[in-house]
């Protein structure tokens, strides 16, 4: 199923039950917040008094009880579902839920707690002067390649076929929606920064060719690997930190207040993409896969060598010149991206080097079969 078809399928209403008018998603709850939320989303907003009774207290209670929002399965899954009401294609639900006061309040409450944790834990970096070149070079310095273990290097050199598939499953949480989270920032910017972001996004969205949209290239990689490209098909197997990495960019994109962080986050993504994608393409070639599988990674080797310049100088740097007060948030966004993705990568490498799966395997996920091994 391609992305368009799966989105269409996700919008199909179930008529099998009067009570649950919308289809259950292909993933399950991880605690009281996601449990009540998923149950409520199967019914129309008209039933909210009943289905979301006590919900804000349940959210407040879960937030009060967690010491680590980034690693909290229930809260991160709930935030992904709530952001999904804006993206579409995550849960089949009454579209009125997008701006229902209860879902908006829950989204903001979880985001605020997540942001507080990051503001506490993200290492402080010196803010450069509010000049485009200075901001770009500070971001390049922050994101410069480091020797030592990395997920991309592991895939290039030693990952098994199974581990390479796990990588694709983990990455799919964001990449099947690439780069929608950053698009939220477009109307929240102006002038040079806005023009830069639009220039990057034109490539991300295929430059007018839907089949070249990066999300579509990744969906094809999944299908070629024999994996299901429907959004959320493997979400049950994905740990909280990987979901947190995706939620982070959605939170930055959806809050105008955080437009500096969104720009810094995106610059850091573009700056840490070209080399790792070369290694990822090499890894899949080493495992015997052809261009149908590696196209997504190969595309990013060249594209992001250009994007990192635009994102550093014109998006983040341009924004800093337009709004000097945002420089520290630009650096915060970049550092937060590296911290959260670093946590997720560390966890993946720990599991792999210990000979374990990086997925939540208790969910019994089937990662498909190599096409050339299908009889």
Residue 194 within binding range of Fe ion, rule CB under 5 A:
no
**Nearest alpha-carbon partner for 80 in 45, 114, 125:** 114
* Token code pair at residue 62: 């879960």
Nearer to Fe ion, 74 or 304 (CB): 304
Nearer to Fe ion, 74 or 178 (CB): 178
- Residue 266 CB, shortest distance to Fe ion, in Å, is 8
Q: How many CB atoms lie within 10 A of CB 135?
A: 30
Stretch that binds Fe ion, among 50-58, 201-209, 246-254, 283-291 (CB under 5 A): 201-209
DSSP state letter for 53: T
Is the N-terminal amide bond of 179 cis, ω within 30° of 0? yes
Cα separation of 113 and 109, whole Å? 6
Name the minimum Å distance from CB 196 to Fe ion: 12
Q: Smaller CB distance to Fe ion: residue 86 or 307?
A: 307
The distance of closest approach from Cβ of residue 222 to Fe ion in the complex, given in angstroms and rounded to an integer, is 15
As measured in angstroms, the least distance from the Cβ of 245 to Fe ion is: 15
If the CB atoms of residues 166 and 204 are measured against Fe ion, the closer one turns out to be: 204
How large is the angle between the packed helices 73-87 and 240-254, nearest 10 degrees?
Answer: 40
- Cα–Cα distance for residue pair 204/198, rounded to 1 Å: 10
Nearer to Fe ion, 142 or 303 (CB): 303
Q: What does the longest C-alpha to C-alpha distance in the chain come to?
A: 61
Asked whether the beta carbons of 284 and 163 are under 8 A apart, the reply is: no
Which residues ranging from 291 to 330 are in contact with Fe ion (CB under 5 A)?
304, 307
- In the complex, what is the shortest distance from the CB of residue 313 to Fe ion, in angstroms, rounded to a whole number? 15
Which among 22, 41, 25 has a CA at the least distance from the CA of 33?
Answer: 41
Question: Among 214, 220, 259, 313, which residue sits at the site for Fe ion (rule: CB under 5 A)?
Answer: 214
How far, in Å, CA of 37 to CA of 234, rounded?
A: 19
Q: The tokens of 112 are what? A: 């605020």
- Between 194 and 307, whose beta carbon lies closer to Fe ion? 307
CB of 210: closest distance to Fe ion in angstroms?
A: 14
Applying CB under 5 A, the span of 17-25, 198-206, 249-257, 317-325 interacting with Fe ion comes to 198-206
Shortest distance in whole angstroms from residue 219 CB to Fe ion: 13
Q: Which span sits near Fe ion by CB under 5 A: 28-36, 152-160, 210-218, 346-354?
A: 210-218
- Closest CA relative to residue 27, chosen from 231, 164, 246: 231
- With respect to Fe ion, which residue has the nearer C-beta, 214 or 220? 214
Instruction: Give the interface with Fe ion as residue ranges (CB under 5 A).
Output: 204, 214, 304, 307
């Amino acid at each position: 199923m391609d992305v368009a078809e799966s989105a269409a399928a996700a919008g199909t209403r179930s008529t099998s039950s009067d009570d649950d008018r919308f289809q259950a998603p292909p993933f399950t709850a991880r605690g009281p917040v996601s449990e009540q939320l998923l149950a409520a989303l199967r019914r129309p907003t008209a039933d909210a008094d009943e289905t979301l009774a006590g919900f804000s207290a349940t959210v407040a209670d879960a937030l009060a009880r967690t010491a680590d929002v980034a690693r909290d399965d229930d809260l991160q899954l709930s935030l992904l579902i709530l952001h999904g009401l804006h993206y579409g294609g995550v849960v089949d639900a009454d579209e009125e839920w997008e701006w229902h006061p209860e879902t908006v309040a829950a989204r903001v409450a979880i985001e605020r707690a997540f942001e507080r944790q990051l503001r506490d834990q993200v290492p402080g970096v010196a803010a450069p002067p509010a000049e485009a070149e200075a901001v770009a070079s500070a971001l390049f310095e922050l994101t410069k390649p480091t020797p030592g273990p990395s997920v991309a290097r592991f895939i290039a050199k030693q990952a098994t076929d199974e581990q390479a598939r796990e990588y694709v499953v983990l990455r799919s949480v964001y990449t099947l929606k690439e780069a929608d989270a950053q698009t939220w920032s477009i109307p929240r910017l102006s002038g040079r920064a806005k023009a830069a972001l639009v220039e990057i996004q034109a490539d991300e969205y295929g430059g007018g060719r839907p089949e070249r949209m990066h999300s579509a290239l990744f969906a094809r990689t999944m299908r070629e690997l024999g994996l299901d490209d429907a959004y959320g098909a493997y979400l049950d197997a994905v740990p909280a930190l990987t979901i947190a990495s995706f939620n982070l960019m959605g939170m930055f994109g959806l809050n105008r207040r955080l437009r500096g962080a969104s720009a810094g986050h995106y610059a850091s993504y573009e700056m840490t993409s070209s080399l790792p994608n070369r290694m990822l393409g090499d890894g899949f070639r080493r495992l015997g896969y052809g261009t149908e599988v590696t196209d997504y990674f190969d595309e990013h080797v060249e594209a992001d060598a250009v994007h990192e310049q635009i994102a550093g100088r014109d998006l983040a740097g341009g924004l800093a010149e337009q709004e000097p007060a945002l420089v520290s948030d630009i650096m915060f966004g970049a550092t937060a991206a590296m911290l959260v993705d670093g946590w997720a990568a560390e966890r993946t490498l720990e599991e792999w080097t210990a000979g374990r799966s990086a997925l939540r395997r208790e969910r019994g996920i089937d990662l498909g079969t190599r096409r050339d091994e299908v009889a």
